[in-house]
């Protein structure tokens, strides 16, 4: 398939400038780029959808370039924002760039071939670009009227004919010259890559259309102004769909916040669970966007899922594939094992195989109770579970004894044989935890502090 055909069947294609398909078909390999904002130390799931555009570009026989915006990151893109962003210092941005590059290298092939990926940083060509020089070489070629017509600018300024009932317009707080100039900077990125790498395509999410077309227009106008150039240079734009849920809301955040690609910010277990818990209505699209499974493979999975939706066949395949590529096969296996622990599978050994961070992730939603380790030494199981600090488990020692004798209490996956069992003799998980199960579904995490 061509790049556009591949993106279309996956539901990733949004729009392209006229002539883009023909350019891709007749000019292999085409060099295309996407910009990434280094305002955080890690990329997130929303960025991952954009990374996949570069992956498919390379798989279609073209050359992907990832531009890390060290310079533009100091300014802040106004697109989709109702207020000015905080500006980051160069040291923070450099650290963020290093983390982002390491993540990109997991998805793209970096080699010396004509299709080998590159990572570039626009700070390298902007750091010595003087203000007056920039205004003369770049600024004079785009009118203020052209720049103000962009949606990202109009929303912030508030246009005269705006609907008064439009909440986004009512919240508009104006725009500084700093952010107003962002599209000039991004446009010049395209010019620089066009000149130095022969880059003729810029891609991005659909909300970047205005910034991207500023670059194509700037290339055209600069080349037209060059008397030595017999004909204006052509550059092209292609955008992908924003990833949203079936209900139209933005995709990429969990109940606890943004889902990052960095395991220090979002653990592999949390990452796996995020995709595993995808709604049935969302899973068909997500598996097309975030995996490289073929149409045939996805069709088979969808047929299996339709036969038994409760088995979550699509979600399992999605979570397994993406977690493996973002983290590793080992991290995925550990996440699957941890998931099974939560659903009552596995014995004491399975629990003890979890490190403390994963254990806390697995049982993040259950009551977390603490008791002094020194106080627990002389306690029996019944006394511990009915202790005043543990009253969320049993209100009295009598109730605890009764349920233990009925075989309804397990600690660390082992049935408590007697109410008088010594707590000191119980094996611990991660050296200080007891996983208490009351009945079939009630869990408690007791920490011996």
Q: Give the domain CATH number at 420.
A: 3.10.290.10
- Is 309 contained in some domain? yes
Residue 169 has pLDDT above 60, yes or no: no
CATH code: domain of residue 329: 1.10.240.10
- Which tokens sit at 342? 């939560």
| Three-class DSSP labels, 175-221 | CCHHHHCHHHHHHHHHHHHHHHHCCCEEEEEHHHHHHHHHHHHHHHH
Residues sharing a CB contact under 8 Å with residue 87, sequence separation 6 or more, in sequence order: 74, 75, 76, 178
pTM of the prediction?
A: 0.81
- Is 359 contained in some domain? no
Distances (CA, A) of 226 to 126, 185, 229, 236: 22, 20, 5, 20
Number of domains composing the chain: 3
Nearest CA among 30, 137, 151, 134 for reference residue 81: 151
- Is 246 contained in some domain? no
SS3 category, 168: helix
**So what's the pLDDT on residue 131?**
87
CATH code: domain of residue 85: 3.40.50.620
- Is 356 contained in some domain? no
Residue 197: φ, ψ to 5° = -120, 0
Range of the domain at 310: 253-343
The verdict on 190 and 331 lying in the same domain is: no
The verdict on 20 and 156 lying in the same domain is: yes
Residue 88 has pLDDT above 60, yes or no: yes
The verdict on 138 and 208 lying in the same domain is: yes
Per-residue pLDDT band for 428 (boundaries 50, 70, 90) equals confident
Does residue 349 or residue 62 have the better pLDDT?
Answer: 62
The verdict on 282 and 320 lying in the same domain is: yes
- Which tokens sit at 304? 């299996």
- Is 358 contained in some domain? no
Average pLDDT over residues 70-85: 59
C-alpha 73/C-alpha 448 separation (Å) is: 46
Share of the chain above pLDDT 70, in %: 88
- Is 353 contained in some domain? no
**So what's the pLDDT on residue 389?**
65
DSSP H or E run through 14: strand 13-16
If you average pLDDT over every residue of the chain, what do you get? 84
Average pLDDT over residues 97-125: 91
Residue 94 has pLDDT above 60, yes or no: yes
Per-residue pLDDT band for 429 (boundaries 50, 70, 90) equals confident
Per-residue pLDDT band for 410 (boundaries 50, 70, 90) equals confident
Least confident of 15-29, 197-211, 323-337, 424-438: 424-438
The verdict on 210 and 296 lying in the same domain is: no
Per-residue pLDDT band for 78 (boundaries 50, 70, 90) equals low
The verdict on 101 and 190 lying in the same domain is: yes
Least confident of 298-307, 350-359, 385-394: 385-394
- Is 35 contained in some domain? yes
**Of 207, 240, 273, which residue sits at a domain end?**
240
Residue 121 has pLDDT above 70, yes or no: yes
Distances (CA, A) of 110 to 102, 118, 341, 375: 12, 7, 39, 58
Is-contact 42 262, C-beta < 8 A? yes
Burial (CB count within 10 angstroms: exposed 0-12, middle 13-18, buried 19+), residue 349: exposed
The verdict on 15 and 141 lying in the same domain is: yes
Average pLDDT over residues 421-431: 84
**So what's the pLDDT on residue 164?**
45
The verdict on 152 and 209 lying in the same domain is: yes
**Of 215, 240, 265, which residue sits at a domain end?**
240
The verdict on 330 and 397 lying in the same domain is: no
Per-residue pLDDT band for 142 (boundaries 50, 70, 90) equals confident
C-alpha 415/C-alpha 407 separation (Å) is: 7
Residue 365 has pLDDT above 80, yes or no: no
**Of 343, 359, 390, which residue sits at a domain end?**
343
pLDDT in tens, 379-397: 888 888 887 666 678 888 8
**205 DSSP β-pair partners:** 240
Per-residue pLDDT band for 162 (boundaries 50, 70, 90) equals very low
The verdict on 228 and 264 lying in the same domain is: no
Nearest CA among 412, 415, 393, 414 for reference residue 404: 415
- Which tokens sit at 261? 């690609």
The verdict on 37 and 171 lying in the same domain is: yes
**So what's the pLDDT on residue 294?**
96
The verdict on 82 and 202 lying in the same domain is: yes
- Is 266 contained in some domain? yes
């Amino acid at each position: 398939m061509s790049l556009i055909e591949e993106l279309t069947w996956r539901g990733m294609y949004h729009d392209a400038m006229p002539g883009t398909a023909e350019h891709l078909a007749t000019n292999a390999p085409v060099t295309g780029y996407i910009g990434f904002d280094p305002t955080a130390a890690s990329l997130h799931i929303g960025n991952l959808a954009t990374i996949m555009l570069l992956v498919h570009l390379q798989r279609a026989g073209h050359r992907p370039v990832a531009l890390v915006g060290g310079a533009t990151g100091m300014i802040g893109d106004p697109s989709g924002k109702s207020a000015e962003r905080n500006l980051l210092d160069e040291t923070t941005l450099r650290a963020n760039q290093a983390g982002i590059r390491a993540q990109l290298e997991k998805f793209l092939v970096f080699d010396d071939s004509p299709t080998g990926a590159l990572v570039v940083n626009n700070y390298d060509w902007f750091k010595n670009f003087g203000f007056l020089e920039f205004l003369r070489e770049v600024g004079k070629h785009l009118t203020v009227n052209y720049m103000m017509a962009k949606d990202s600018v109009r929303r912030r300024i508030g246009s005269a004919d705006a609907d008064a009932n439009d909440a986004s317009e009512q919240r508009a707080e104006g725009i500084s010259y700093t952010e107003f100039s962002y599209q000039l900077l991004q446009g010049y990125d395209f010019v620089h890559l066009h000149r130095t790498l022969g880059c003729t395509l810029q891609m991005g999410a659909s909300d970047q259309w205005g910034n991207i077309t500023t670059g194509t227009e700037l290339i055209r106008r600069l080349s037209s102004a060059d008397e030595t150039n017999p004909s204006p240079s052509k550059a092209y734009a292609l955008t992908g769909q924003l990833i949203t849920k079936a209900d139209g809301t933005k995709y990429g955040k969990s109940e606890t916040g943004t889902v990052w690609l960095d395991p220090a910010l979002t653990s592999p277990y949390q990452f796996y669970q995020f995709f595993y818990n995808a709604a049935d209505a969302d899973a068909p699209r997500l598996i097309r966007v975030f995996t490289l499974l073929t149409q045939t493979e996805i069709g088979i999975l969808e047929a299996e899922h339709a036969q038994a939706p409760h088995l979550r066949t699509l979600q399992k395949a999605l979570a397994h594939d993406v977690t493996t590529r973002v983290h590793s096969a080992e991290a995925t296996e550990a996440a699957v094992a941890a998931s099974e622990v939560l659903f009552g599978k596995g014995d004491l050994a399975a629990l003890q195989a979890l490190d403390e961070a994963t254990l806390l992730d697995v049982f993040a939603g259950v009551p977390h109770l603490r008791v002094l380790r020194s106080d627990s030494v002389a306690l029996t199981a019944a006394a511990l579970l009915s202790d005043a600090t543990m009253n969320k488990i049993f209100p009295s020692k009598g109730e605890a004894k009764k349920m233990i004798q009925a075989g309804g209490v397990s600690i660390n996956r082992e049935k408590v044989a007697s109410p008088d069992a010594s707590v000191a003799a119980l094996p611990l998980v991660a050296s200080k935890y007891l996983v208490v199960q009351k009945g079939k579904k009630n869990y408690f995490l007791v920490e011996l502090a």
